[in-house]
Amino acid sequence: MLYQRSSALFKDAQEYIPGGVNSPVRAFKSVGGTPIFIKKAEGAYIYDEDGRAYVDYINSWGPMIVGHTHPEVLSATVEQMKNGFSFGTPTELETEIAKLITSVVPNIDMVRMVNSGTEACMSAIRLARGYTNRDKIVKFEGCYHGHSDSFLIKAGSGAATFGNPNSPGVTQGTAKDTLLAEYNNLDEVKALFENNKDQIAAIIVEPIAGNMGCILPEKGFLEGLRQICDENGALLIFDEVMTGFRQAMGGSQERLNIKADIVTFGKVIGGGFPVGAFAARREIMNHLAPLGPVYQAGTLSGNPIAMRAGITTLNIINNDRELFTRIDKATETLDVEISKILAEKGIANKINRLGSMMSLFFTKQDEINNFTAVTKCNHDSFNKFFHHLLANGVYLAPSGYETWFISDAIKDTEINKTLDAVRSFEI
């Protein structure tokens, strides 16, 4: 049995942890089978409890852009740990990373550190509401901004309507202030603003969606959102938890040349440790406590271990801008070659890619540009593909609704191993 120890560990975990996991996608419910328990990681590889190695295309869902246990990051983190694990007081490290972030990300002056992407997006929404003195927000179907109540909303009878909770525990009162539109559909956004004049505080969007697979903004979509916000006195929030410091040093704002009012970060800025942040212009951030009336706090925010790992990771990237060229090229190679191999087998597929993010969809559709299109793909074929690659030492996100994240540790050896696994795949 390939995953004997993982199977035993999962059985044990289910007795003490709901579903046996601490985040639902880890349970493999989407793809079926038993989740793999990981023991260690290094470079481009993760190693399971049964001793098997896998080329890793999750990379902890994005943060390991320089590869696992990068020597510089590891050394700096170990040295920092010798000084203490957590203080609950200000440290110079917090200012150091804030200076670095504001120096490279467009349109921001100040940063507030938090402990997760969920917390960053939740706080950004609160800040937007406090700044504009409005209650409602617009989000997009298929975009995930964490598990805060305001974001766990699905469409009602039509996409451009009031949201309804899609999780027990989220109240109708909360849901009524979240308006839902289809990604890449400006007409629906315009209709929401027309029907809710002077009530919408912000639009929050993944500028490159990563939680319904990798979905790219169509030409003019983000520009249109910017214009709608400007015309209606609303703020544009970019959720760059995935894309920040991955698409470019300045994130999607730099890569796509669109300026947001508030930006949320996570993943890369902690070098693999739990972290999040939100940032904006000074005039907006001055509304935060202790300067202003919008309250936000976190006992462990700015944890020194996470700050040191994040600073080191960001400096590696900042001092080696060719890194983006390398990982973009590796991702392009995977895109082109996988699509060609599958097409030669007569397997219909569509790959979306931008930078070092990509997704493979089994479909005959020419475009995959919103959540509805993703739902129409052949997810049974993806599930078979996932397990085939897993058995051949390649680890993908265990869902057809997720994104691959390529790291700088992925070289020709890992790409060739992946392509060999694809060549032996049959529907």
Q: Is 308 exposed, middle or buried (0-12, 13-18, 19+ CB in 10 A)?
A: buried
- Dihedral in degrees, nearest 10, Cα atoms 97, 102, 108, 111: 10
**Pairwise CA distance, residues 59 & 66, whole Å:** 9
Instruction: Pick the catalytic residue from 54, 57, 144, 401.
Output: 144
Angle at CA of residue 262, ends 254 and 112, nearest 5°: 105
**Pairwise CA distance, residues 129 & 123, whole Å:** 10
**Mean pLDDT of residues grouped by 10 in the chain (427 residues)?**
90 97 92 96 98 97 97 98 96 98 97 97 98 97 90 54 68 87 97 97 97 96 98 98 97 97 97 97 98 96 97 97 96 98 97 98 97 96 98 96 97 98 96
* Domain 71-318 in the same topology as domain 4-57+321-423: no
Rounded to whole angstroms, what are the CA distances from 309 to 80, 263, 266, 278? 9, 21, 13, 18
Amino acid symbol at 173: G
Instruction: Pick the catalytic residue from 48, 57, 136, 267.
Output: 267
| Number of C-beta neighbours around residue 151 at 10 A | 24
Contact (Cβ atoms closer than 8 angstroms) between residue 267 and residue 244: yes
**Pairwise CA distance, residues 34 & 37, whole Å:** 9
Strands 394-395 and 262-266: unpaired
**Pairwise CA distance, residues 215 & 29, whole Å:** 22
Strands 394-395 and 53-56: parallel
Rounded to whole angstroms, what are the CA distances from 302 to 90, 148, 305, 309? 8, 21, 9, 11
- Residue 267 is a catalytic residue: yes
Contact (Cβ atoms closer than 8 angstroms) between residue 179 and residue 137: yes
pLDDT the model gives residue 153: 77
Looking at domain 71-318, which CATH architecture does it have?
Answer: 3-Layer(aba) Sandwich (3.40)
In CATH terms, the fold of domain 4-57+321-423 is Aspartate Aminotransferase, domain 1 (3.90.1150)
Domain limits, the chain: 4-57+321-423, 71-318
Instruction: Pick the catalytic residue from 56, 239, 261, 408.
Output: 239
* Distance from the first to the final alpha carbon of the chain: 23
- Residue 239 is a catalytic residue: yes
Strands 200-205 and 235-239: parallel
Is the pTM higher than 0.85? Answer: yes
**Pairwise CA distance, residues 298 & 296, whole Å:** 7
Pull the structure tokens for residue 236: 């544009």
pLDDT the model gives residue 157: 31
pLDDT the model gives residue 166: 76
**Pairwise CA distance, residues 218 & 191, whole Å:** 19
Percent helix, strand, coil in the chain, to 5, is 40, 20, 40
**Pairwise CA distance, residues 253 & 235, whole Å:** 15
